[in-house]
Structure 1
Amino acid sequence: MLTVGLLLVARPVGAQGVALERMELSPGAAGSLLLGTGELLPEGALRLSTVGHYQHNPYVLSRGGAVTQIVGNRLTTHLAAAYSLTNWLELEAQLPVVALQRGEDLVDKGIEPPVRYGLSTPTVGARWGLLSQRAERWADLALGLNVGLPFGNASGLPGEAGAHVTPQLMFGRRFGWFRLALEARALLRKKSLPPADSTVGRSEVGSELRFGAVAATVGRRLRWELNVVGTVPLVNQPRSLELLLGPRYLLNPSTELFALGGVGVGIAPGTPLFRVMVGSAFGGVTPPRLKGESSVNCSMGLSHTAEECPDLDDDKDGVRNEVDKCPDKPGTLERNGCPPQDSDGDGVEDALDECPKEWGEWRGGCPMPDEDKDGVDDERDSCPTLAGPPETRGCPRSDQDGDGVEDDVDLCPKQEGEPKLQGCPEADRDGDTLANRFDSCPDLPGLLTNHGCPKYEVPLVEITPTQLKLTSKVYFLTDSSRLDSRSNEQLNWVVKVIKEHPEIQNISIGAHTDDRGFPNANLQLSLERARAVRQYLIHEGVAPEQLEARGFGGTQPIADNQLSIGREANRRVEFSIIWRE
């Protein structure tokens, strides 16, 4: 709205004069705010900038030691835009709007005073990329062409008319954390002579060559750049040189703040004693990184990969990402940042395990020898050449009644019975037609549909051939092996069933977790939870030798860990019946 208002009240184009915007911005600002570095914006990137620009004594005359201020103070707002159609073609535009311009009263010397505000010289242009380090070339190289449009009226100094054209050659290269670049451009414009009736001598204004060099830091949220810009006029005009230094700060991935300040040497029109620029940019402002360089996301704490930030230590294990073979898992320096691996879970890490794919506890992680392959290792097998079960120390069984239960463990060796009842026939103490071993209330007649319990009794445990099936979960405190008091009623039922079923001689308590967290930590937590349940049952009167505790971590899921309801189902405790055969 400010720009439109200034244009409406500005004087006509016929009042054009010397363009004082010697220091133009680089709208794409890839590498430098002022100079082209040969690097273009990535394809599809749009950068919009607004800059407040103050110049002190941008146009003065020096004669006999006296300095005459034709333009002493100039405050300009620059609006700039750059859009990259492809990785090798970038379009750009700039609109400088003079908000304040003042000088001495020189009307009596034939010099009209400058207009106080209005539009300076707008420019449009394009840049063509020839080489790019992002494409793994050795440097950045680009050509550019800017056109200054003859629409400005803010200088008020007669003598220049028509458009000017500025071809550019830009070259640069990044060296890790810093960049060096050179720019050469030719400002081609119509030559203007000072008025013959002026009482103050002025130099000619016309075409000139401009050269610049920049050194800038890269790959950080806060960056610095140093620019040196000089001109070699092609007419009778003094030379000039400027030095500018300033920071650039990436506020967020789409917003950048920056400032530049510096001094000028020379009295060529448009070269101030000093100038200060402060501005902001929006859109494609996050600088891209080259292969092997650190991403700016590293300094901003944004999402990144380990490869983008080689100098960080994402897993906090003391090993930098660049050399960490397992950057997302804490490890040790000796293992190149990886944790100890134990593929077969036998407690011997793979680096020391002679049999890393096979569980074993004998001689460096290998299984014990078992000649007859009966599951009883030779050191404990009384019959190492004849297959037999562990209960008979690896020797074949003897079964007189043919019920599948060996005589030395058969409670009824001469009466064919049920193997699950240690060789004795089925029994039904309460006479409700449900065998004791499946009856949740073996001493109270009940209903078959209520697991053998009376209809007024709600059984919390169902006995199956393989396990004590719970009707509710066993709860623990979060990330702890401490039992939640909500589990007491359920576990008391487990105690009741075990006591009322002497035929159930052994129970394996298995605790499981979901897959979140580290596998070894989950394995340890599940084992501690199983031990906590075992201790509770012992405290309530179950014989310790009847119980064993095992932790499985997240190795045996029963539901999808990608869903919260699945993870809840996987966090469980199971009571498996170990029947003596």
Structure 2
Amino acid sequence: MRLRTSLRRAAALALALTSTAALAQISSTLRTFELERLDLNPGAEGSLLLGLGELMPPGTFRGSVALHYAHSPLQLEQDGQTFQIVSGRATLHVAAAYAPTRWLQVGLQLPLVAFQMTGSQADSGFEQPSHVGLGTPGVSLRVGLLTQDDAGGVDMAAELGAGLPVGSEAVLARDPGGWRLSPRLMVGRHFGFIRAGLEVGFLQRPSIAITRQLGASADQIGNELRVGAALATTGRRLRWELNVRGMVPLTNQPGAAELLPGFRYLVNPSFELFGLVGMGVGSAPGTPLFRMMMGGAFGGVTPRRGPGESSVNCEPGLVHTLEECPEMDEDGDGVRNGVDRCPTEPGSVERKGCSAKDTDGDGIEDMLDACPVEPGPAARQGCPVQDQDKDDVPDEVDSCPTAPGPADNRGCPVRDNDKDGIDNDKDACPNEAGPPERDGCPETDTDKDGVPNRADSCANEAGTVENLGCPQHVQPLVELKRDRLVLQGKVFFDAAGVRIQPRSFELLDWVARVILEHPEMPLIVVGGHTDDRGFPDANRRMSQGRAEAVRQYLIQKKVPAERLQSQGYGQDRPIDSNATSIGRENNRRVDFVIVDPELEKAGAPRR
């Protein structure tokens, strides 16, 4: 008997020592990882947890603070025994979102583990995590892809989220390697007072075993596919939602799912209370038995009125417009706002919400008066004759309703004092008649021969129209056009050279005379041109030299240098075919273009 008792005691002692050694080995093998699985939806459009494809209105900011408790989020099993590593965890979530544009939204989440309850180290053998620490902060960038409108469609958005490598390892709030990425796609739709949506995402994280147990899938973490669905009510201060979140493992780890119903209450247009409670199914690390959350949000928390929805502002105590709430009865007379002719004053149903009164005293009662606060004749349904400019011409027939004018001018003021067909604001000489080409100013005729200077080749000598303004005994060699001087001859140069031949001096003397007699021409561009024989660069240099030779000749004839500019175009601007000798001869030329520098500054092209 003593031997058997001794053997039993020895076996029990050996088993205890073996278990203690095993537990001591386990306690040193618990690795750090991000335990938390709860992600908030920072903008909270549609759901507190899941994106339904919507973005906040542009320029809107939303901030929120929530306290969240998860019960028994981490249990591990060893040799048939289950150990509670984290029996309870309280986390403070701070989140913010801002939409700079209609299609872009940025988000931020900052979790702080406020208190973490752990199991007894003596019972479990696992090393205890810390009680307080910083969680893994997250940033997100959401882009809107589609928007549901009154014609139908869906809301769709894509998001790229990232976990920053600054979480506390001691509190199980940081994955190995630091960074974690979570792209996701979300889609949703409005169905009257219900919104529904789906979200599919991918979580990238290192694939590791959090203990050294072989073949224990509950101890594994790694990449996973996250899916979720949500239903949410709309159009009320108190709104409800139901969220279902699941995880599909892409590595050797168990799956998990959570059912999370919640509520939201709009206290005022800029403050909202919210909460949710739910339970988890599955043994994946971070899946609690149940979780609870309460919090509040501030900023842009009043939901927009979506297609087919009623506005939440139609609830009592919230500011709204009559158009926003057509189903309400603002004045309590039994006639809905949408059909009430007098929605802010009680009336009768027979009078479409109006009372039998005549506010403007024009003899037409308000329900029949198209302008109930302005007197007007019955022929105009009680509206006054509109005459903004008080010129006795009714606006409906007044071509200038904001500027007084006589009836014979269709109510417009007289804007052409000199009757030259050019409005005063565009007429450079509003009190003197002139043609449009001179901006309404009268023609200048220095020699009084009836030919205006702009077309007179002999501006200082009286002549005839037929002879370009020159006397009959003078043969003009230059004709004035609006934008150029047309030569009645050709400027000749030495073959393949730039020297002007003497037979062209008389023609160029006429050019100098015309320029000097017309000071209104501010700048003349002397253009040199060649045919296409030879190399383009050589032709361009030769044409530049010829144009400059003509310019220097004109300067010698007293033409101010600042009124002349030379430009060689080479073969780039032909006026005839280079396939014939006559065409090539025509292309070898010098022309004179009249340029207004002010027009060039304004962007007018040079001809």
Of 318, 329, 339, the match for 1:302 = 318
Map 1:111-130 to 2 at 5 A. 111-130=126-145
Choose which of 196, 215, 225 in structure 2 pairs with 1:209.
225
Which residue of the partner structure matches residue 34 of structure 1?
49
Distance change in 2, residues 1:134/1:254 (3 Å)? farther
**1:339–1:115 CA distance, 2 compared to 1 (3 A):** same
Q: CA deviation at 1:202?
A: 4.5
Q: Is the 8 A contact 2:223 2:250 kept in 1?
A: yes
Does residue 270 in structure 1 map to residue 292 in structure 2? no
Q: Which residue of 2 aligns with 1:423?
A: none
Aligned match of 1:171: 187
The separation in 2 between residues aligned to 1:159 and 1:350, in whole angstroms, is: 73
In structure 2, C-alpha distance between the alignment counterparts of 1:181 and 1:78, rounded to whole Å: 24
8 Å Cα contact 1:160/1:190 also seen in 2? yes
Task: Give the structure 2 partner of residue 149 of structure 1.
Answer: 164
1:310 partner amino acid: P
Aligned residue identity for 2:279: V
Q: Secondary structure at the match of 2:315?
A: helix
**Identity across aligned pairs (percent)?**
52
User: Cα–Cα, structure 1 residues 59 and 316, in superposed 2: closer, same or farther, change >3 Å?
Assistant: same
1:253 aligns with 2:264: no
Are 1:279 and 2:287 matched, yes or no?
no
Query: Partners of 1:298 and 1:85 in 2: how far apart?
Result: 28
Q: By how many angstroms is 1:47 displaced? A: 0.7
When residues 266 and 350 of structure 1 are mapped into structure 2, their CA distance, relative to the original with a 3 A threshold, is closer
Q: How many residues align?
A: 341
SS of the aligned residue for 1:183 comes to strand
The question of 1:83 aligning with 2:98 is answered: yes
Offset at 1:192? 1.0
Aligned partner letter, 2:299: G
In the alignment, the residues of structure 2 paired with residue 20 and residue 65 of structure 1 have an alpha-carbon distance, to the nearest angstrom, of 23
1:340, distance to aligned residue in structure 2 (A): 4.1
- Are the aligned partners of 2:354 and 2:367 in contact in 1 as well (CA < 8 Å)? no
Match of 1:383 in 2: none
Partners in 2 of 1:350 and 1:276 — Cα distance?
Answer: 59
Query: Does the aligned pair in 2 maintain the 1:110–1:197 contact within 8 Å?
Result: no
Residue 202 and residue 71 in structure 1: after superposition, are their counterparts in 2 closer, same or farther (change >3 A)? same
1:328 match: 344
CA positional deviation for 1:350:
5.7
In 1, are the aligned partners of 2:31 and 2:210 still within 8 Å (CA)? no
CA deviations 1:181-207 (Å, max 9, x no partner) are 111111111111244378988532001
Distance 2:121 2:150 in 1: 56
| CA–CA separation in structure 1 for the residues paired with 2:92 and 2:366 | 70
1:109-141 Cα shifts (integer Å, max 9, x gaps): 774311111011111111001122368662211
Compute the displacement of 1:323 (Å).
Answer: 3.0
1:317-342 deviation line (CA, Å, top 9, x unaligned): 10112332432343332333344476
**SS, match of residue 133 in structure 1:** coil
Asked whether the 8 Å contact 1:297–1:303 carries over to 2, the reply is yes
- Structure 1 residues 120 and 94 mapped into 2: Cα distance closer, same or farther (>3 Å)? same
The 1:135/1:86 distance shift into structure 2, 3 A limit, reads farther
The verdict on how the C-alpha distance between 1:336 and 1:105 changes in structure 2, with shifts beyond 3 A counting, is same
Q: Which of 52, 61, 83 lines up with 1:68 in the alignment? A: 83
CA deviation vs aligned residue, 1:531-568 (integer Å, no higher than 9, x gap): xxxxxxxxxxxxxxxxxxxxxxxxxxxxxxxxxxxxxx
Question: For the Cα contact (< 8 Å) 1:28–1:81, is it kept in 2?
Answer: yes
Q: For the residues of structure 1 that align with 2:164 and 2:368, how far apart are their CA atoms?
A: 73
Unaligned runs of 5+ in 1: 1-14, 360-581
Instruction: Note if contact 1:110-1:199 (Cα within 8 Å) is conserved in structure 2.
Output: no
How far apart are the structure 2 equivalents of 1:216 and 1:290?
Answer: 13
Residues 80, 297 of structure 1: CA spacing in aligned structure 2 closer, same or farther, 3 A cutoff? same
Residues in 2 aligned to 1:268 and 1:338: alpha-carbon distance in whole angstroms:
66
Q: Structure 2: how far apart are the matches of 1:73 and 1:349?
A: 67
Please give the per-residue CA displacement for 1:10-68, whole angstroms capped at 9, x wherever unaligned: xxxxx972212211100100111100111111111111111101000111124677432
Question: Of 151, 174, 190, which aligns to 2:206?
Answer: 190
Give the direction of change, closer, same or farther, for the CA distance of 1:326–1:346 in structure 2 (3 Å limit). Answer: closer
Is 1:140 paired with 2:158?
Answer: no
Match in the other structure for 1:516:
none
Q: Label 1:219 to 1:16 Cα distance change in 2 as closer, same or farther (>3 A).
A: farther
Matched-pair contact (CA < 8 Å) for 1:16–1:156 = no
Q: Distance in 2 between matches of 1:117 and 1:301?
A: 42
8 Å Cα contact 2:341-2:367 kept in structure 1: no
Distance across 2 between alignment mates of 1:200 and 1:346: 87
Change (3 A) 1:357 1:148: same
1:239 is aligned to 2:255: yes
Instruction: Determine the C-alpha separation between the residues in 2 that align with 1:107 and 1:185.
Output: 40
Q: Per the alignment, do residues 350 and 84 of structure 1 end up closer, same or farther by CA in structure 2, a change over 3 Å counting? A: closer
In structure 2, the CA distance between the partners of 1:72 and 1:347, relative to structure 1 (3 Å rule), is closer
Per-residue deviation, 1:309: 1.0
> Contact 2:355–2:367 (CA<8 Å) still a contact in 1?
no
Larger radius of gyration: 2
Contact 1:194-1:202 within 8 A present in 2 as well: no
State the TM-score, normalizing by the size of structure 2. Answer: 0.52
Q: Distance in 2 between matches of 1:242 and 1:120?
A: 21
51 and 17 in structure 1: CA distance in 2 versus 1, 3 angstrom threshold: same
Which stretch of structure 1 is more off in the superposition, 135-144 or 333-342?
333-342
- Identify the residue that residue 219 of structure 1 maps to in structure 2: 235
Task: Check whether the contact 2:355–2:366 (CA below 8 A) recurs between aligned residues.
Answer: no
1:118 maps to a residue whose letter is G
CA RMSD of aligned residues (A): 3.0
- Mark the CA change 1:43 to 1:229 in structure 2 (over 3 Å): closer, same or farther: same
Equivalent in 209, 228, 239 of residue 244 of structure 2: 228
In structure 2, relative to structure 1, the CA distance for the partners of 1:304 and 1:21 (3 Å cut) is same
